[in-house]
Amino acid sequence: MTRLRFSTESPTRASPVEDNHVANGGRRPATSWSIVSAYTFSSIARVGAAVGGNSYRDTWAKVFGEKTAILPDVTVIFMTMAAAICYSIIVGDSFASIAKLVGAPALLTTPNAWIVLLSAFVLLPLSLLRDLSKLAIGSVIGTAGTLYTALFMFLRLLDGSYAPGGKYFAAISAAAQPAFAAHTVARPLLNTGMFVLLSMLASAYLAHYNAPKFYEDLQPPADGSSKLPRFNTVCLAGFGGAAALMGSIMAFGFLTFGGASQGLILNNYATADPLAGLARLGIALSIIFSYPLNMTGLREGILAMFGQKAAGAKATVHVLLTLALVLILNGSSLFIKDLGLIVGLGGAILGSALVYIFPALMAIGETKGAMSPMEKKVNWGLTGLGVFFAILGAVMCLK
DSSP string for residues in 173-236: -GGGS-B---TTS---SS-THHHHHHHHHHHHT--GGGHHHHHHHSPPPTT---SHHHHHHHHH
In this structure, what CATH number is given to the domain that contains residue 103?
Answer: 1.10.4160
pLDDT category at 297 given cuts 50, 70, 90 is: confident
Whole-model pTM: value is: 0.81
Mean pLDDT of 363-367: 94
Mean pLDDT (whole number) for 363-379: 92
Q: Residue 269, SS3?
A: coil
Q: What is the pLDDT of residue 21?
A: 42
pLDDT of residue 342: 76
Within a domain: residue 157? yes
Band (pLDDT 50/70/90 cuts) for residue 300 is confident
Distance between CA atoms of residues 34 and 47, nearest Å: 20
Q: By C-alpha distance, which of 1, 399, 385, 398 is closest to 201?
A: 385
In the prediction, which pLDDT does 197 show? Answer: 66
Residue 230 lies in a domain: no
Give me the domain span that covers residue 278: 2-179+189-221+235-398
Instruction: Please report the pLDDT score of residue 180 as a whole number.
Output: 87
Asked if residues 159 and 293 have their Cβ atoms less than 8 Å apart, the reply is no
User: Distance between CA 76 and CA 338 in Å, rounded?
Assistant: 21
What does the pLDDT read at residue 91? Answer: 94
> Given this model, what pLDDT does residue 23 score?
46
Convert the pLDDT of each residue in 208-219 to its tens digit.
877 887 888 888
Mean pLDDT: which of 186-190, 219-223, 300-304, 374-378 is highest?
374-378
Is the pLDDT at 320 greater than 80, yes or no?
A: yes
Instruction: Tell me: pLDDT of 195 over 80.
Output: no
- The continuous run of DSSP H or E covering 380 comes out as helix 373-398
Rounded Cα distance between 243 and 230, Å, is 20
Is residue 229 in some structural domain? Answer: no
Residue 228 lies in a domain: no
Residue 284 lies in a domain: yes
pLDDT digits (tens, 9 = 90+) for 387-396: 988 888 788 7
Q: Is residue 227 part of a domain?
A: no
The contacts of residue 175 (CB under 8 Å, 6+ apart) are: 260
Domain-located, residue 292: yes
Is residue 81 over pLDDT 60?
Answer: yes
Per the document, the length of the chain is: 399
Backbone Cα Rg of the chain:
21
Taking the CA atoms of 31, 35, 37 and 42 in sequence, report the sign of the dihedral they define.
positive
Q: How many CA atoms lie within 13 A of 278 on its CB side?
A: 11
Q: Residue 29 — very low, low, confident or very high, per pLDDT cuts 50/70/90?
A: low
**226 domain-assigned:** no
Q: How many domains does one find in the chain?
A: 1
